[in-house]
Homo-oligomer: A and B are copies of this chain.
Amino acid sequence: MEYTVKKLAALAGISARTLRYYDELGLLKPARISSSGYRIYGQKEVDTLQQILFYRELGVELERIKEIITSPEFDMTSALIEHREKLLAKRKQLDILIANVERTIAFAEGRTQMSDKEKFEGFKQNMIDENEKKYGEEIRKKYGDEKVDQSYRQFKNMTKEEFNKWQELEKQIKETLKEAFLTGDPSGELAQKAADLHKQWISCSWGSYSKEAHAGLAQMYVADERFREYYDKEQLGLAEFLRDAILIYTGMKEK
């Protein structure tokens, strides 16, 4: 299939000017020029344009895109896989923004508290990592946490001490779990310690404890993406690892 500027533009949902501009930059040259000077694009150009638009969507500058796709090491398939990852990350950021707007609505209606910092959650691009690295926990402690904790405690109707213990346990579980994950053995000492910490953790919020409930929740950690993501975003496979550790801990699984 061959396309003129207007036709390719219509197909891709961009303007003809954009295509001429891309030609001018040397980013996307037409396959050939017709006898009357018209730009004619072919199959290869269609695919390249798709790549360009993926990069553009992700906020890459046109000059940089040119460098990337004209590089001899450029591989279509691995580029696509990278696009996928980046798009998923973008979606996560969007999810944070949506959570933000929902929280802000609740705040406007007086249903909850909200710190100034929380009001801008999800806007920052890669600032997320930067902030974490630069200031570590400090900023969060200073502005956000006390208020946030307050509202969480309300829901969990815990005392401040109970809540602190709960939070501390959560941190310990994650740390122990990540360390245990490196051993690869869910029946090992570290993994079993994580499972024990996890038992204490759920005992905090449930009044009681039972092996069955614990094992059941472990299953849920893998089955339900709300939980799975929470652990897997730290380390892929961590949710599954925790499940196995708990199943062994509760005696629901051998070895």
Contacts and interface: CB of A to CB of B under 8 A. Distances in A.
A185 interface: no
A24 interface: no
A204 to B, nearest CB: 8
Interface residues of A, number: 70
A109 B77 contact: yes
Contact of A104 (B12, B13, B50): B50
A127 interface: yes
**Assembly stoichiometry (copies):** 2
A152 interface: yes
A87 B97 CA distance: 8
A215 interface: yes
A197 interface: no
A94 B91 contact: yes
A233 B99 CA distance: 10
B224 A205 contact: yes
A169 to B, nearest CB: 13
B102 A233 contact: yes
A223 B210 contact: no
A205 B223 CA distance: 6
Interface string A18-43: 00000000000000000000000000
Contact of A105 (B53, B84, B209): B84
Contacts of A50: 104, 119-120
6 contacts: A11-B117, A152-B225, A155-B223, A156-B222, A205-B223, A214-B216
Nearest to A205: B223
A81 interface: yes
B233 A108 contact: no
